[in-house]
Structure 1
Amino acid sequence: MTRFGYFLSCEEFGPAELIEQARLAEEAGFESLWISDHFHPWNDEQGESPFVWSVIGALAQACSLPVTTAVTCPTVRMSPVLVAQAAATSAVMLDGRFTLGLGTGEALNEHVLGDAWPTLDVRLEMLEEAVGLIRELWTGEFVNHRGRHYTADTARIYTLPEQPPQIFMSGFGPEAVDVAARIADGYITTSPDHALLKRFRDSAGDKMAQAGTKVAWAATEDEGVELAHRLWGTSGLPGELAQVLPSPRHFEQAAELVTSEQTRRSVTCGPDPDRHVEAVKPFVEAGFDDVYVANMGPHWAEMIPTYGNEVLPRLRSGIDGR
């Protein structure tokens, strides 16, 4: 049976709001948390971007839900050596309820130290080496690594959980999905793409698959559309733009190509529980093990309990149960 989690958007909310969302999500019956890992928001309207590892430490004290990063890039902005230490500490603080979600990242976040942004094939190669190095560090032994992309010099992580965290990997195209099936313990995506999920499972067997989506809860559909378009119009950009644009202002410029009517057609907006059930239904029917839902805009304090009372029970009872 599909489990349902809440998606914490660090791009849009500060630490205090994220912690309160997590607390409300646990009260409402959500079973787990995703949390994004960004240096920049997608645009200035979103206006936030707290350091995810600090927020995870606070989450460990505020609620008892499992946490997955969705997703961390361990290749450019942060060395995989430091990601390994941060993830190990997070797993200790969460008493093992932590999953390290990884991906190849976006130039938006990863260019900030001045490094060149590699092509996808190189990013996948870097990620595969990083995952191997992270797992080696989690053994608790001294690690000396001289790889194509990374070096570790007599590095040892002392604060470790009883069991190493699982590593999930995001993939939005066939090449990344194939790497995820080979090197990761699970798969992360944001689309109910049957073909990619089947490709993953054909190679990975019974490894877990997670997906996330966003809605815009508001008093009216029109208000929800306005919020979604203003705050998250950048998510409507096609192709690989989201991976290569370097700054929020570039995303804002590109998002001028996305109309509010396109947002209306692609995002579930407003207060109708039936529409919110229908928004999540494709992910359940595709067969994802876990589905995460984020709210765009300021009305999360209404959205979260309403999902708990009216949306999640119907999803759990077979979509159309009431």
Structure 2
Amino acid sequence: MTSFGYFLACEEFTPRQLIDQARQAADAGFTRLAISDHFHPWNDEQGNSAFVWSMIGALSQATELPVTTLVTCPVMRLHPAVTAQAAATSSVLLGGRFALGVGTGEALNEHVHGDRWPSFDERADMLEEAVEVMRRLFTGRQVSHRGRHYTVDNARLYTAPEGPLPILVSAFGPKAAELAGRIGDGFVTMAPDEDAIARFRDAGGAGKPVVGGLKVCWGADRDAAVATAHRLWPTEQLPGELNQILPTPAHFEQASGLVTRDQVSESVPCGDDPDEHVSAVRAYVDAGFDEVYVGQIGPDQEAFFSAYRDKILPACSG
């Protein structure tokens, strides 16, 4: 049975707003939370970039809902040993209700130390090694590791997870889906792509959860909602690998000049037609997702939570 969660966008909202949204999500009937991990927003209009590990600590005291990162990149900006410590503490604070979603990252967030931005194949190799290192550290035993990409010297997590800490692997292409099946405890993908899910399952992901979701813009005026989504999240419509290789919000703003309002209108559920929202969410259910996270674009959060509590979630759960 599919469970429905709310997506907390650290790029768009302040830390206090995110905490308030988490509480509203629980009251509206969402049963899980996901949260982004960004150093920069995608564009200046979004205007925020809260540190995800501080946010998870705060969420653990504000709500009883499970939390998943969608997604953390443990290969450059933070060493996998440091990511493992952050994830382990998060798991303890949340009483085991934490899952670590990981991926190969975007230059937007990972270039900030001035390191070379590697190719996807190299980043995938780094991610595989990072996952190995983190899993060993999660045991609470002392770890030393000298690999192709990382060195760990006599490290031990004294605050280790008290039970399983799932690592879910994000993928947006065939090779990445196969990697997720091979090394992940679950699969993260943001499109209801049955072929990608099948590839994940064939590569070792059979029986493992599939996690993903979508952004919407609920509002009484559909044209205004489309304008809001176009202003804040045009980057969702950028093609190919641009989201992985552009290094700054300014570059994303330049590329987003090619994205039209019509494209957003066709791709993002906007307005207050329940059927449009139900159809978009049900596409993930029908594709076989175990967890579907929905994020509301823009400031009209109360109307969104009210509508999803009363109209959308009951229709999607039935």
TM-score normalised per structure 1:
0.97
Match of 2:289 in 1: 288
Tell me, in whole angstroms, the C-alpha distance in 1 between the residues paired with 2:311 and 2:199: 33
1:229 paired with 2:227, answer no
Match of 1:320 in 2: none
Match of 2:233, SS state, is helix
Match of 1:33 in 2: 33
Tell me, in whole angstroms, the C-alpha distance in 2 between the residues paired with 1:188 and 1:161: 22
Tell me, in whole angstroms, the C-alpha distance in 2 between the residues paired with 1:164 and 1:267: 35
1:110 paired with 2:119, answer no
Shift in Å, 1:156 = 0.8
Tell me, in whole angstroms, the C-alpha distance in 1 between the residues paired with 2:282 and 2:139: 40
Matches within 5 A, 1:233-252: 233-252=234-253
Match of 1:25, SS state, is helix
Tell me, in whole angstroms, the C-alpha distance in 1 between the residues paired with 2:206 and 2:194: 15
Answer whether contact 2:139 2:161 (CA < 8 A) is retained.
no
Match of 2:305 in 1: 304
Shift in Å, 1:219 = 2.0
Tell me, in whole angstroms, the C-alpha distance in 1 between the residues paired with 2:293 and 2:306: 15
Answer whether contact 1:24 1:305 (CA < 8 A) is retained.
no
Match of 2:49, SS state, is coil
Matches within 5 A, 1:162-311: 162-203=162-203, 204-311=205-312
Tell me, in whole angstroms, the C-alpha distance in 1 between the residues paired with 2:45 and 2:312: 29
- Deviations along 1:89-114, one digit per CA (max 9) or x if unpaired, are 00000000000000000000000000
Answer whether contact 1:25 1:305 (CA < 8 A) is retained.
no
Shift in Å, 1:211 = 1.3
Tell me, in whole angstroms, the C-alpha distance in 1 between the residues paired with 2:62 and 2:39: 23
- Equivalent pairs counted in the alignment come to 317
RMSD (Å), alpha carbons: 0.7
Answer whether contact 2:225 2:271 (CA < 8 A) is retained.
yes
Match of 1:269, SS state, is coil
Matches within 5 A, 1:79-94: 79-94=79-94
Tell me, in whole angstroms, the C-alpha distance in 1 between the residues paired with 2:92 and 2:302: 29
Tell me, in whole angstroms, the C-alpha distance in 2 between the residues paired with 1:225 and 1:315: 23
Tell me, in whole angstroms, the C-alpha distance in 2 between the residues paired with 1:81 and 1:186: 21
Task: Tell me the percent identity.
Answer: 59
Match of 1:268, SS state, is coil
- Which consecutive unaligned segments of at least 5 residues does structure 1 have? 318-322
- Deviations along 1:47-72, one digit per CA (max 9) or x if unpaired, are 00100000000100101000000000
Answer whether contact 1:88 1:164 (CA < 8 A) is retained.
no
- Deviations along 1:172-210, one digit per CA (max 9) or x if unpaired, are 101111110010100001000110011112232111101
Shift in Å, 1:140 = 1.1
